[in-house]
Structure 1
């Protein structure tokens, strides 16, 4: 088999970049072992233009959010699957000062297009929103597990997927400089496997800052057409089910669900939505491939020819992947360097 690019990892990064390359006319092949640490497989898939404790507009929001919904709609058509769930995100106020602050910000040009409405009184039955809240638009979630499985099924049907653990020992250079791996020859090698890219020797110097996250799927007598978000988010899955999370732990990077994280999520949910939790169906764990500056990593290995990395998407992968996968394809096609904030060369000092 021959391919222009061999991609290692079929999480969100590998799925979207390989799709972009395929649509651009390149031949691709993926190797993936569905490792349980892949955060993509448990991620809620939120895209939210105003985030953080200080509720600031997310980095590059005006550019990134123009691509999110059109891109995932395109993938829905390609895979014939429902993936995109545009929903408002509602954040209740906890003080009159916060309410007044957002009434003022709603007239600020920088938030134009992202604020749907500012409420000064309760709006959503069952939510602790006595002081009203902020309703954001251009927000929602992407069903990442469905996306990954549908794309995997398609890739396998086309002979573009190898389900196996990638082994560096089986990788070698061909006579013409291409990469040879088992029965595959590829012009370029792209690591799209998150923090596991450090395990294969090429990128062991990258300073990933992984974050463990835990998330619950539970049952309540509660329904909302909006994502409710304060301390934790709650995505309504229908039939009384909700996905609630997430925790952030940058010290204990393992795959073990913890009672402490479970209780933290439930306590914060109780403050947000007092309705009793009837049942916890799933308690899942993933490790986000974050970076010290919370920016993705794009580019070429500093010394190895035809070795690249696309990753570090962290907790905002759904928002970052559509735009920066396009920029990665531009780089691979024409050599157009990614912008400095995401360029891999910002970490060359660690070599």
Structure 2
């Protein structure tokens, strides 16, 4: 079999990039095992334009956010499945000073695309928000499992998915491409998260794995908006609430921990007032984050046919639509990715 590209991994990165290839009439084969998608499948899929304790616009918001909803909307139409959930995010203020600061920002044209309204008094009785809060827009979450399952069905029906473990020792570098078992391709692209860390080509990449834990629970408060301060709290269609996430660089092999569960519940208690929570599910995943919190895009410095599209960490849903387009510019036109994400920065 001859194809243009062999992609390793069908998590969010491999799904988005191979779909871009489909749009551009490139042939490809995706090699994947379900376990490789752990970080994508555990993720809550939140996309949020204002983040962090200081509530600042997320990195490259003006480039990233115009791509998010159109891209996943196209994928929904293509797969005839619904997995993009557009929801406002309510962020309570922690002090009168923060409220005043945001009142001052309200006329800033750079922030206006991302917030709907500033509240100077409590919006929800059930939320600890004595100083009010800000209602963000251009936000929501992606049902990643539904997307990945629907897309793998498409790939299987198109004979473009091999569900087997990748054995790199069987990969041969040819003068004008690669050969893997019976597949000859012009290039191979590592989209397999932390699996790339085990590769002989990308073992030196600055991965900094981050563990995240989330809870699905029953709690008698079902707002339309996502509540986000300290933890996020999403009302799911099944009547449960999803709460997350922890961030730890330790205990990467332990799975869900009592410490992680307690941390989430303690933060939830500070956010939601007098509402008992009954846990239904507790999961963990390891995110393929990097030391500088920037993705890894580019061509291997010594092997023309070896590429990486990886390292999206906790913000993959926001980052992947924009950077998959940038990656296609590299593959089709030879245009190098911007410096902050180009793997040349790691040399």
> What TM-score results when the alignment is normalised by the length of structure 1?
0.96
Matched residue pairs, number? 347
Q: Give the CA deviation at 1:278.
A: 4.3
Correspondence for 2:183: 184
Q: Which deviates further from its counterpart, 55-64 or 32-41?
A: 32-41
Counterpart residue number, 1:76:
76
* Aligned counterpart, 2:114: 114
Q: More deviation in 38-47 or 247-256?
A: 247-256
Distance across 2 between alignment mates of 1:284 and 1:239: 17
1:237 equivalent to 2:239? Answer no
Alignment-derived partner of residue 29 in structure 1 = 29
Q: Pairwise mapping of residues 221-300 of structure 1 onto structure 2 (< 5 A)?
A: 221-300=220-299
What do residues 157-194 of structure 1 show as CA deviations (whole Å, max 9, x unaligned)?
A: 111001111001221234x5332212211111000011
SS in 1 for 2:35: coil
Q: Which residue of 2 aligns with 1:99?
A: 99
* Alpha-carbon distance in 1 for matches of 2:253, 2:273: 31
Partner residue of 1:340?
339
SS in 1 for 2:21: helix
Measure the CA separation in 2 of the matches of 1:214 and 1:275. 23
Alpha-carbon RMSD: 1.3
Q: 1:41 & 1:293 partners in 2: Cα distance?
A: 23
For residue 11 of structure 1, what is the aligned residue in structure 2? Answer: 11
8 Å Cα contact 1:46/1:140 also seen in 2? yes
Once residues 194 and 258 of structure 1 are traced to their aligned partners in structure 2, the CA distance between those partners, rounded to angstroms, is: 22
Instruction: Give the CA deviation at 1:107.
Output: 1.4
- Residues 37 and 183 (structure 1 numbering): CA distance in 2 closer, same or farther, change over 3 Å? closer
Deviation at 1:210, TM superposition (A): 1.0
User: 3-state DSSP class of the match of 2:110?
Assistant: helix
1:221–1:240 contact (8 Å) kept in structure 2: no
Q: Distance in 2 between matches of 1:163 and 1:280?
A: 33
Whole-angstrom distance in 1 between the partners of 2:162 and 2:293: 31
Moved more, 42-51 or 122-131: 122-131
Other structure's SS at 2:156 match: helix
- 1:127-142 matched pairs, under 5 angstroms: 127-142=127-142
Partners in 1 of 2:42 and 2:276 — Cα distance?
A: 21
2:66 counterpart residue number: 66
C-alpha change, 1:54 and 1:162, in structure 2 (3 Å) is: same
TM-score by length of 2: 0.97
Runs of 4+ in 1 over 6 A off after TM superposition: none
Structure 1 window deviating more from structure 2 (23-32 vs 276-285): it is 276-285
